[in-house]
C-alpha cells in the first residue's frame, strides 16, 4: 500500500448516532453513491469499494476529506484507500465528529480527481436558538406614483441555517395569522399592511415584520391604436433594387392594453396574419401594406412599403477559395503531442459557399462541420475541398502532420524550499521583522501553486515573500502543488522575532492560549492578528456594553475582518460568533468579565 494513503480498519459495530456510506465501483469519474447531508455530531463513515458493492475490476479508490481549502470545513482528516483485494475486502469504516458547515471530499488516486462532492452538515435541532430570517417582496404593475394598479402579489421567503424553516405565517390588514403556502394576491383598492413571521424546526419564531403598499383602480380603457413600422432587407444592386428576393419585417407596439395581432397584404391581396418576416422573390415592383390591432380592439391606420426585385445576375463559374490550419501542442521536433486539430476554411464571393468536405489518410470524403481532431499516433494527410451554391468545386488541397504519443504522466510532487532574511541579533533572533521567501520547481508538469500556514492558521496562497513582524516565536509551514495535482509534503521552519520598537497598543492584555468570550472557551487558538493584538485583546469583553446586541455585533465585525485576513477559517469564525450569542455579556445582570 502506498505510504501516502492510510488504511482505516473496519469497526466491529458502528458506535456513532448516524452512519454515512460512500460506495465506489468500476467508474473513475464519480462515486457510485454518496450522502448529501448530515447532522453535526459523531458519525460512522463507511467506504465500500468491495466486489459486492459493484467493483468488478479491482480498481482502487480513496475517500479523502479536503483539509486544505479554507472555504470548507477542514476539521476532519480522513483518507481511506480501498481495494476489493485488501485485507478488509474493500469495505472500511471510520469514526469522526462532524461540525456544522460544508465538507469537500474527493478521490486522491491519480486520474480519479473527478470523483468529488460536498457534504452539508447542519446543526442539531436542539442546539438551534436562532430564529429564521424572513423577508417579503411586493410585485405588480406600478403607476408613476409607485402605487400598484389593479392588484399586487406579496411573496414571502425565509431561511434558517441551523435546524431549517418549519413554516411561514402572514396576516393582512390586522386579521389573524394564516399559513403562507403561495404568493398572496391583494386586489382591493386602498392602503394595505401585510405582517409576516417564520418559525424554524427548533421552535424559534422570528420577530414580526411587515410591508405596506397601496392599490389603485385600473385606469380608463385604451382608445389609442398601436404604433407600427416596417423594414425591407436583402441584397441590393447598385440601383437599390433587391436581387432575387427581399424580406419585409413588420413591428408594432402598444403601451396601454398591449398588442393583439399584426396583418399584412401584398400587392393588393387580402389581409392575412403576420407571424414572421415576409419573403418576396417574384421579380417586379411590390407594395406591402400592414396594420396592427391592440387588445382593446383599436386598429392602426394602414401603412405600406414599396420595393423592386430584379433577377439574379449571370451564373457563378468560379470555385471557392480554401485553406487549412493545424493546431495543437508541439514537441521540439515540430510533431503534435497526443492530438492535432485541423481547421478548414472556405469562402465564395459570388454565389456563396454550399459545403466543405475532407478525407483523412485516403478515406472517402465526408462533410466538414467542425474542426477535425486527430489523435492516432503516426503521420497523417488530410485532403479538403469546397463547393459553392452554383456547383463549382475547388481543386483538392492537403495538409500533412505527425502525431506522437504523450510523455509519461507526472506523478512526482514539486521540490520546495524556503529561506529567511532579515537583521539578526547576537542570539540569532530577527530584529523587528523577518521575510520568508518560498520557491518551488517541477521539471515534469510545472508548478501550479505554493501555499503557506503561519502559526497554525489555515493554508493561504503564496504570491510574494511573507513578512513576519510580530515579536515572539513563529512556526511557518509551506508546500507546493504541480499542474498534475501532486502536492509536496509540508515542510516547516521556526524563527523568533524580537521588538525593535515599543510594543503595539492593544485594548487590553490577554495572551491566553484559546479565545474566550466571557466564560465560554471556544477552543479556537488565540492567535496574534495583523495589527499586533491577540483575538481576545480585540474582543475586549470585560468593558461595559450598552446591551447584548451591541456586543454580539462588535464580535461579528471582528471575526468578519479576521476571516478576510486569513487569521480565522470559516469554522473558527462561526464558533466565536456562536459563543458571543450564547454569552450574557451586555445583559443587565452581567458584570465585568473575569479572566
**91 part of a folded domain:** yes
Indicate if 112 and 150 belong to the same structural domain. Answer: no
Indicate if 383 and 420 belong to the same structural domain. Answer: no
Indicate if 277 and 327 belong to the same structural domain. Answer: no
Indicate if 295 and 334 belong to the same structural domain. Answer: no
List the CATH number of the domain containing 241: 2.60.40.10
**11 part of a folded domain:** no
Output the CA angle 171-176-178, nearest 5 degrees: 65
Indicate if 294 and 231 belong to the same structural domain. Answer: yes
Indicate if 22 and 116 belong to the same structural domain. Answer: yes
What is the Cα–Cα distance from 417 to 488, expressed in whole angstroms?
Answer: 11
pLDDT mean values, one per 10 residues, the chain (595 residues): 36 60 95 93 95 93 94 94 95 94 94 93 78 96 89 96 88 96 96 95 91 91 93 91 96 91 97 97 97 93 96 87 95 91 94 94 97 96 95 96 88 95 91 95 90 94 94 94 92 90 67 89 89 85 82 90 91 91 81 47
Indicate if 333 and 368 belong to the same structural domain. Answer: yes
Q: Give pLDDT, residue 491.
A: 96
Buried b (16+ CB within 10 A) or exposed e, 167-193: ebbbbbeeeeeeebeeebebeeeeebe
What residues form DSSP beta bridges with 454?
476
What is the Cα–Cα distance from 415 to 439, expressed in whole angstroms?
Answer: 8
| Cα 434 to chain centroid, rounded | 38
**471 part of a folded domain:** yes
Pull the grid cell for residue 427.
Answer: 542570539
Indicate if 552 and 456 belong to the same structural domain. Answer: no
**13 part of a folded domain:** no
**1 part of a folded domain:** no
| 368 neighbors 344 (Cβ within 8 angstroms) | yes
- In total, how many domains does the chain have? 6
Q: Give pLDDT, residue 120.
A: 92
- Relative to beta strand 61-65, strand 227-233 is unpaired
Q: Give pLDDT, residue 505.
A: 65
What is the Cα–Cα distance from 151 to 192, expressed in whole angstroms?
Answer: 11
Out of 256, 277, 310, a domain closes at 310
List the CATH number of the domain containing 78: 2.60.40.420
Which of 208, 120, 119, 134 has the alpha carbon at shortest distance from 162? Answer: 120
Indicate if 292 and 241 belong to the same structural domain. Answer: yes
* Residue-number span of the structural domain to which 398 is assigned: 321-404
Indicate if 89 and 172 belong to the same structural domain. Answer: no
**161 part of a folded domain:** yes
Pull the grid cell for residue 97.
Answer: 465528529
What is the Cα–Cα distance from 114 to 215, expressed in whole angstroms?
Answer: 54
Helix (H), strand (E) at residue 23: strand 18-23
Maximum C-alpha span of the chain: 106
DSSP state of 581: H
Indicate if 35 and 116 belong to the same structural domain. Answer: yes
Indicate if 187 and 260 belong to the same structural domain. Answer: no
Out of 216, 237, 270, a domain closes at 216
Buried b (16+ CB within 10 A) or exposed e, 348-370: bebbebbebbbbbeeeeeeebee
**578 part of a folded domain:** yes
What is 520-550 written as a DSSP string? EEEEEE--B-TTS-BHHHHH-TTS--S-HHH
Out of 348, 379, 404, a domain closes at 404
**5 part of a folded domain:** no
- Cβ-Cβ contacts under 8 Å for 177 (sequence gap 6 or more): 169, 170, 171, 195, 197
Amino acid at each position: 500500500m502506498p505510504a501516502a494513503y492510510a488504511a482505516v480498519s473496519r469497526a466491529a459495530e458502528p458506535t456513532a448516532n448516524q452512519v454515512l456510506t460512500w460506495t465506489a465501483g468500476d467508474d473513475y469519474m464519480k462515486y457510485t453513491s454518496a450522502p448529501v447531508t448530515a447532522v453535526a455530531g459523531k458519525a460512522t463513515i463507511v467506504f465500500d469499494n468491495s466486489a459486492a458493492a459493484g467493483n468488478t475490476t479491482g480498481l482502487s479508490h480513496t475517500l479523502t476529506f479536503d483539509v486544505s481549502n479554507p472555504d470548507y470545513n477542514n476539521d476532519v482528516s480522513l483518507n481511506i484507500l480501498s481495494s476489493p483485494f485488501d485485507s478488509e475486502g474493500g469495505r472500511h469504516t471510520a469514526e469522526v465528529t462532524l461540525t456544522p458547515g460544508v465538507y469537500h471530499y474527493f478521490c486522491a488516486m491519480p486520474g480519479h480527481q473527478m470523483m468529488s462532492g460536498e457534504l452539508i452538515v447542519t446543526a442539531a435541532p436542539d442546539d438551534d436558538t436562532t430564529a429564521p430570517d424572513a423577508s417579503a417582496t411586493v410585485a405588480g404593475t406600478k403607476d408613476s406614483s409607485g402605487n400598484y394598479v389593479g392588484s399586487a402579489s406579496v411573496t414571502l421567503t425565509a431561511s434558517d441555517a441551523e435546524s431549517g424553516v418549519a413554516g411561514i405565517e402572514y396576516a393582512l390588514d390586522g386579521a389573524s395569522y394564516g399559513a403562507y403556502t403561495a404568493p398572496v394576491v391583494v386586489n382591493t383598492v386602498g392602503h394595505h399592511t401585510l405582517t409576516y413571521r417564520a418559525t424554524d424546526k427548533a421552535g424559534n419564531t422570528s420577530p414580526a415584520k411587515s410591508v405596506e403598499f397601496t392599490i389603485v383602480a385600473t385606469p380608463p380603457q385604451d382608445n389609442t391604436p398601436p404604433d407600427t413600422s416596417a423594414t425591407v432587407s436583402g441584397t441590393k444592386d447598385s440601383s437599390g433594387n433587391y436581387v432575387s428576393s427581399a424580406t419585409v419585417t413588420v413591428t408594432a407596439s402598444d403601451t396601454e392594453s398591449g398588442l393583439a395581432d399584426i396583418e399584412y397584404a401584398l400587392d393588393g391581396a387580402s389581409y392575412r396574419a403576420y407571424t414572421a418576416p415576409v419573403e418576396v422573390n417574384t421579380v417586379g415592383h411590390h407594395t406591402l401594406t400592414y396594420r396592427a390591432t391592440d387588445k382593446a380592439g383599436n386598429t392602426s391606420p394602414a401603412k405600406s412599403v414599396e420595393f423592386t426585385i430584379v433577377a439574379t445576375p449571370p451564373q457563378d463559374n468560379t470555385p471557392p477559395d480554401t485553406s487549412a490550419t493545424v493546431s495543437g501542442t508541439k514537441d521540439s521536433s515540430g510533431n503534435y503531442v497526443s492530438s492535432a486539430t485541423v481547421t478548414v476554411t472556405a469562402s465564395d464571393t459570388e454565389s456563396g459557399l454550399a459545403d466543405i468536405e475532407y478525407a483523412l489518410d485516403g478515406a472517402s470524403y465526408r462533410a466538414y462541420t467542425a474542426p477535425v481532431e486527430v489523435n492516432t499516433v503516426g503521420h497523417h494527410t488530410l485532403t479538403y475541398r469546397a463547393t459553392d451554391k452554383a456547383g463549382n468545386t475547388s481543386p483538392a488541397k492537403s495538409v500533412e502532420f505527425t502525431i506522437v504519443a504523450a510523455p509519461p504522466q507526472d506523478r512526482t510532487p514539486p521540490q520546495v524550499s524556503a529561506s529567511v532574511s532579515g537583521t539578526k541579533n547576537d542570539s540569532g533572533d530577527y530584529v523587528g521583522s523577518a521575510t520568508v521567501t518560498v520557491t518551488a520547481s517541477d521539471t515534469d508538469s510545472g508548478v501550479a501553486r505554493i501555499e503557506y500556514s503561519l502559526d497554525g492558521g489555515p493554508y493561504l496562497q503564496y504570491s510574494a515573500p511573507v513578512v513576519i513582524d510580530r515579536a515572539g516565536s513563529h512556526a511557518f509551514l509551506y508546500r507546493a502543488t504541480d499542474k498534475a495535482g501532486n502536492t509536496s509534503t509540508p515542510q516547516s521552519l521556526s524563527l523568533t522575532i524580537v521588538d525593535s520598537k515599543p510594543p503595539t497598543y492593544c485594548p487590553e492584555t490577554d495572551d491566553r492560549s484559546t479565545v474566550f468570550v466571557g466564560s465560554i472557551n471556544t477552543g479556537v487558538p488565540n492567535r496574534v492578528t495583523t495589527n499586533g493584538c491577540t483575538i481576545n485583546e480585540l474582543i475586549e469583553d470585560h468593558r461595559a456594553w450598552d446591551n447584548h446586541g451591541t456586543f454580539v455585533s462588535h464580535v461579528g465585525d471582528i471575526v468578519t475582518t479576521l476571516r478576510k485576513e486569513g487569521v480565522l477559517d470559516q469554522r473558527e469564525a462561526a464558533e466565536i460568533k456562536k459563543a458571543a450569542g450564547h454569552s450574557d455579556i451586555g445583559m443587565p445582570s452581567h458584570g465585568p468579565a473575569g479572566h
